[in-house]
Structures are given as C-alpha cells and as structure tokens.
Structure 1
Amino acid sequence: MASRGFIELLRSADLARARKGGRRGGQAFDWQGVVFEIGGQRLVAPMGQVSEVLSMPEYTSLPLVKSWMLGIANIRGRLLPLTDLADFLQVPSLVPQMSQRKVIVVEYNNVLSGLLVDQVLGIEQFTREQYRAEAIDYDSPFAPYNHGKFLKAEQEWYVFMPSLLAQDIQYADAAI
C-alpha cells in the first residue's frame, strides 16, 4: 500500500517537472538517488532527501551519548550532528578508518543530520518501470528504512529512506 503511494509520488514529481519545463511527454529517468555502501550493502537514497556529501569533517565529541553519536561538526556555520550509521544499525563497517568514510548530509523536517557511511558511489538514475515494491529481507537491519528496490543492469538497488530514519525514536534518542 505504501509502495503505491511512493509510485504516485514519482508520477507527481515527473508531472511537475514536465509542467515546469514545458514538456508534455515522459522523461527518460523518473527518479535519482545517491548510491552508497554500508557494511557491504549497496543502497540508494532519494536525491530530495540528501543535501550533500562530505568527506569526514572535524568534529567535537559529545558526553553521555550512545556510541553511534560521534559528535557535532561545524559545516559552514551550521551545527551538524554526526552519526555512525554502521554502529547505529549494528553492521560491521568495511572501511575501518573513519577518515576514508563519507558523510551523507540529510535534512528532514528541519532536522539536519550527517550519516557516516562506508563509501558514496555517486548518483544513479532510474525509470518508473525499474521500481519494484519488494522490501529487503525482513531480518536485515536496513528493513525499517527500506522502501522497495530498483532493478537495473541485473542489480538490485534497495531504497534507503533517510526520512524514515529521522522519524525513528531510537535514532532520535542518542542520550545514554
């Protein structure tokens, strides 16, 4: 049911872009996302939920927070809470050196957060026909934040929704 709503959002967004650009026909690509890996799992987050991608910035640690809350970074005058997504999801990071990992900056309902991931592979484009309303395995730590997948070039690209992570009470409560 929720997946149908997601497809409708894709259609509405395409229609809005078409009207804004003066087009009447379809568009070759309907959906774009930032592809990243964490714990060996390749995921794609919607472009509309990712503000930017950063190298690991300097940050200040915080006292009395859970281990996955790394601290706060000052990014162009804005305070960015940094979280280790692998630690939060309890999956092993395949890139042990934090300095080699990347930060995906997400903003949802005026809540800004930096998610430390193993690597960011770039931006991928998908068509409506490539979307499947099939969830990742139920026992996967990514399952609560998954919203279907795309099939492209015989690969599965599971959709990771940062907005679902931001709404998770366990994620919002970083205090010990």
Structure 2
Amino acid sequence: MASKGFIELLRLADLAKTRSTGLQSGKGYDWRGVVFEVGDQRLVAPMGEVSEVLNMPEYTSMPMVEPWLLGLANIRGRLLPLTDLPQFLHLPNRHQKKQRKVLIIDNSTVFSGLVVDKVIGIEQFTRNQYRAETLDSDSPFAPYNHGKFVKDQQDWFVFMPSLLAKDPRYIDAAM
C-alpha cells in the first residue's frame, strides 16, 4: 500500500499543479509517464510499465552475480531483484543515496526493481508532442529508448523498461 501510495501522491501533486494553472486534469493528454533521472539524463517511463515507485528498501546481497544486481528485497512477501541502473549502464551515481528510488517493473515476464538516482514526478503529453527521434546510438540509454516528447522546449526521452527486460545482459545476471 505504501508504495502504491507514492504513485498516488505523485498523481495528486500533478492534479494540484494542473488545477493551479487552470487546466483540467485528464483533458487533452494522451500519454503519462514517470519522470526520473539516471546520471545526467532525464527520462520518462510509461505509467503502464512502472507499477510502483518505492523508497530504497533494505535488501540482501547475493553471491556470484553481476555487481549491478544489488540483491533481493522482500516487498510484501515477494522477492524483488534490485538493479542499480546507473551501474548497469556504466554511469556514475550523481545523487545522494537518500534521493534514490526504485521503479517497480511488474508484468507477465519480469518482476524487478530499477534503482534510479531520482524520481521527479509524473508528466503528461499529447500525441502532437511525440517525435520518433531517438537518442544518439552511443548513449547507454539508446537500446531502451522509444522516441521522445517535446514539451516546453525540452526533450523528454522515453525509457521503455520492457525493452530492458528483453536484454540478455540484463536477464542473465549470474557471473
């Protein structure tokens, strides 16, 4: 409940922001995503691919796994593997540990936690703001990118956890 509560708090903060600007929430928006940072890159993941956002839980390390697999956390009776996303992508952690959050990916094939440097909130976009332009191929995020949104003269690159879940390097964390 507490983790779902964090998503709900983000939604309520977004609702308050839209009301204060005179916009009606849900009208005119086609896509919503969770905005987060990894290294110096700000990304947005589809709401449908992120089931929860958690504070960094306590976890138990595991032997004989890649260093980016931090360990397992017990989340309401389920064992959640925690992936340090910056370390997986060979990026430095730029934020304090207390700012780090976990994006929970829970679908039919994967139950996993992506540890990110910072979660900023929820952002809404229209179809007209979407561009099929991707990140440069040398970006560590490129294999998991699915276009971008352009809003307020800023690029919001889409990070798809479902593409990460198909990466053999991510799936096989054993050494």
Q: Deviations over 1:11-36 (max 9, x none)?
A: xxxxxxxxxxxxxxx95000000000
Extract unaligned runs of 5+ from structure 1. 1-25
> Following TM superposition, by how much is the alpha carbon of 1:111 offset from its aligned partner in structure 2, in angstroms?
1.2
2:66 & 2:107 partners in 1: Cα distance? 22
Q: Does 1:62 align with 2:62?
A: yes
Extract unaligned runs of 5+ from structure 2. 1-25
Q: Which has the higher mean CA deviation after the structures are superposed, 100-109 or 157-166?
A: 100-109
Aligned letter for 2:80?
L
Q: Which has the higher mean CA deviation after the structures are superposed, 133-142 or 108-117?
A: 108-117
Give the 3-state SS of the residue equivalent to 1:167 in structure 2. coil
Q: Percent identity?
A: 68
Q: Where in structure 2 are the equivalents of 1:74-93 lying within 5 Å?
A: 74-93=74-93
Give the 3-state SS of the residue equivalent to 1:61 in structure 2. coil
> Following TM superposition, by how much is the alpha carbon of 1:108 offset from its aligned partner in structure 2, in angstroms?
3.1
> Following TM superposition, by how much is the alpha carbon of 1:92 offset from its aligned partner in structure 2, in angstroms?
1.0
2:77 & 2:149 partners in 1: Cα distance? 37
Q: Does 1:169 align with 2:168?
A: yes
> Following TM superposition, by how much is the alpha carbon of 1:44 offset from its aligned partner in structure 2, in angstroms?
0.2
Aligned letter for 1:29?
Y
In the alignment, what sits opposite 2:9? none
2:127 & 2:110 partners in 1: Cα distance? 29
Aligned letter for 1:127?
T
Give the 3-state SS of the residue equivalent to 2:165 in structure 1. helix
2:171 & 2:85 partners in 1: Cα distance? 13
In the alignment, what sits opposite 1:138? 137
In the alignment, what sits opposite 2:148? 149
2:114 & 2:156 partners in 1: Cα distance? 19
Aligned letter for 2:32?
Q
1:66 & 1:166 partners in 2: Cα distance? 16
Q: Deviations over 1:126-168 (max 9, x none)?
A: 0000000000111000000000000000000000000000000
Q: What number of residue pairs does the alignment pair up?
A: 150
Normalising by structure 1, we get a TM-score of 0.83
2:97 & 2:57 partners in 1: Cα distance? 10
**Over aligned residues, Cα RMSD in angstroms?**
1.3
2:127 & 2:46 partners in 1: Cα distance? 14
Q: Does 1:123 align with 2:112?
A: no
Give the conservation status (yes or no) of the 8 Å contact 1:108–1:166: no
